[in-house]
Structure 1
């Protein structure tokens, strides 16, 4: 088939193993450095999702799920697998940076791509800020003499410095952070197993955390789903590194699914053990107990010293490791949108030797620092806004899969390209419908601003077209 035939059919031409050819057929040059393999992407995705994320939110999930926390994460995995599969399909069709912005823009229309990119920017721009603020709050509780604003400055400077050194340095740091988190998690597992065997706090082995017939209901499952699905946000960011991956277009999709499943397994194990150490309970007495639930469990398992270790580890995992990955992902999204002229083009600048979109990295740092210092201690407000953008962009991703493969390419793969995205759309739609009202209002306002920008571009004759896809 000739090049023109491929374009007419809407099908991507065969891709070279190195990936440079695939970029050229989309009208781009290879500017970023291809150094990442499957293992690097797995580490990145796991660090972004944070293997010890339940440390911080265990109490909230415990109350929502009436003690059946591991069941909640199993449900969350099932729910998010459908979105991960849609990411896999689009990352293979469009192996370029930009994530859902690129997928919706080429799978649907450029205007849809802009809105999808604008929506997920709300998530990506606020995630580092939320993590910095959360980490500062946690560390001040351990080291009271250091003000929260100073912790935020330290976090931002450190992460920006690492990201400016290049994606290879970022990948190496991610490996160290992941190793540290897994060591802490292994300590918790060992100490918890010993504590359960010794019957501490009345603990004993039971399957009740997976299914408690006294409190289980279908409504409870759906309520838990709203919490669990949000716990996995971050696996999607792997696709933002598509232009820095070697090994072919399937690597991103494989890493997305594998990282999601691996992190889910870790979530289930740690929350199962933690729930066992709170036997006979289906709720916690108050919000303060919710906030410290996992740390209190750590004290039961290993003593006061281990409680402090877990608290500090949770803070650093969020404010350093997770924020490092979030800043990298956000800068790549800004780079991709700026390269297409959807954002100011100065953000598309790539450092000639380090091959990093340095201006985008610095902009993320400035925004995170400004918002972090202005919203010190406002964890609830930030949390209410973070998830809306990602969920809305996931909806557009599923629509893009159906339209691109079934309408534009006229394929008959109804299972993968109709059933899967329809289920994914229904799940994400339900979660978004049940999201916090502040998130819905704030996210809707953000989308209105994006629509206004899009209309202004149209009225002033500025193009919204993306570069030609093959």
Structure 2
């Protein structure tokens, strides 16, 4: 092992799109479909559609920043260089909350499905297996990560294809009838409830941000990162929308569904026991292995970037000579998510996961406007400047701000408490804000 900070750049656009899609989990609606039904009054497809639009505008801002700063660190680096090192640290600190909770969340979901399939294996054993698998494969390198991502992505798509085919069959047989309740329910429409559910749905789109954390492991990151982000948002959004639209059409009487097993009940209705079992197995591998791997990798790269800068302990910036991965950060993430996965319930952390991401998205969109439109007179004079550097990020800012305001109160309490702790930590690191915030000098 060594303290050098050179990562191995081998990923192409397709690899990074698949990485993002696996992070976002094509089967994500299957795990938390019941959670979304109540606040959205059954309009889950509408929530995913709003989420896709919101993330697409923000994704365009990521594309601009990834071209300007093709380095690991994501919004931490982007805000640091565009606004100020202090705000960059606090933005990175905020999104760390989500990135630590995300792998723990998917481990809990994967373990619950595993335990339901094989009750003799306890939840804690499933959790430890998933975390150990993720830690080892992440240390081994992005080649392993990429290969696993491709395999597990294909398996998820097979499940979705089977679900679509079975739904079409019961529709043709007149067992169900066409309806649009998942898109618009006139009897229960409340914009506050839809936005609250969308705030949780945003969790499913976090993978596009994670793509930017692998910038230093990509081929031509100034091009591949932005392309992969846009494609992953579009593809995942279409998949999420189609899946939840069909689920709503199959079971319009959503109030009778068990929130814990809602989507599997829908699957069982259209496909029977074989499709339910197949879906459960793929959910175990998708959440417990695939997304645990990718989310683990993302938070490790944020820690790596902050450690390399010196704003976190320098050990976080260490890279393995043999595998060219940030092994200290990866091992640290594994150690942190273990107690969270074992001791916390899904209900406790599910509503908190989007806080940091939304803070990051808000700060990123504002950074685009500030740096490229307000401060840079040369860019502002370009023909498309008002569209690219003002209007689009302003829409992204407005939509993400609207979702952020409508987050659950518990998410705000935990999120702002975490942010306050980060301010205290920054106060100590900078000796009462008298010293500059450590940061990497870009060549």
Give TM-score, length-normalised by structure 2: 0.93
Alpha-carbon separation, structure 1, partners of 2:74 and 2:34: 32
Structure 2 unaligned runs (5+)? none
Match for residue 361 of structure 1 among 310, 315, 330: 330
* Residue of structure 1 in register with 2:177 after alignment: 204
Q: Who is 1:304 aligned against?
A: 273
CA distance, structure 1, for counterparts of residue 209 and residue 221 of structure 2: 18
Kept in 2, the 8 Å contact 1:30–1:243? The answer is: no
> In terms of mean alpha carbon deviation, does 421-430 or 116-125 score higher?
421-430
Counterpart in 2 of 1:187? Answer: 162
**How far has the Cα of 1:66 moved from its partner?**
2.9
The reply on whether 1:379 has 2:346 as its aligned counterpart is yes
Please list, as runs of the form range in 1=range in 2, the aligned pairs for 1:83-98 lying within 5 A after superposition.
83-98=58-73
**C-alpha displacement of 1:104:** 0.5
Is it true that 1:231 corresponds to 2:204 in the alignment? yes
For residues 12-411 of structure 1, the aligned pairs below 5 Å read 31-200=6-175, 203-216=176-189, 221-279=194-252, 281=253, 283-285=254-256, 289-375=258-344, 378-410=345-377, 411=379
Aligned-partner Cα distance in 1 for 2:128–2:52: 35
1:19 counterpart residue number: none
Measure, in 2, the Cα distance between the counterparts of 1:88 and 1:434. Answer: 27
CA offsets 1:234-282 (integer angstroms, 9 cap, x no match):
2111000001111351210111010010011111221122112114x2x
Residue 455 of structure 1 aligns with which residue?
427
Q: What's the offset of the Cα at 1:291?
A: 1.8
Tell whether the 8 Å contact from 1:196 to 1:204 is kept in structure 2 after alignment: yes
Which digits, 9 at most, give the CA deviation of each residue in 1:81-111, with x for residues without a partner? Answer: 1111111111111111000000000001111
Cα distance, 1:199 vs. partner? 2.5
Q: Measure how far apart 1:220 and its partner are.
A: 5.8
Which has the larger Rg? 1
Cα distance in 2, alignment partners of residues 434 and 40 from structure 1: 34
Alignment partner, residue 423 of structure 1: 395
Provide the C-alpha distance between the structure 2 equivalents of 1:132 and 1:248, rounded to a whole number of angstroms. Answer: 30
**Distance (whole Å) between structure 2 residues aligned to residue 52 and residue 338 of structure 1:** 34
Query: What RMSD over aligned residues (CA atoms) do the two structures have, in Å?
Result: 1.9
- For the 8 Å contact 2:98–2:353, the answer to whether it is kept is yes
After superposing on structure 2, the runs of 4+ consecutive aligned residues of structure 1 that deviate more than 6 Å are: none
Alpha-carbon offset, residue 353 of structure 1: 2.1
- Distance, in Å, in 2 between the alignment partners of 1:210 and 1:387 is 22
Note the residue ranges of structure 1 that are not aligned, 5 or more in a row: 1-28
Q: CA deviation at 1:449?
A: 0.8
The CA distance in 1 between the partners of 2:9 and 2:37, in whole Å, is 42
Q: For residue 459 of structure 1, give the secondary structure of its aligned residue in structure 2.
A: coil
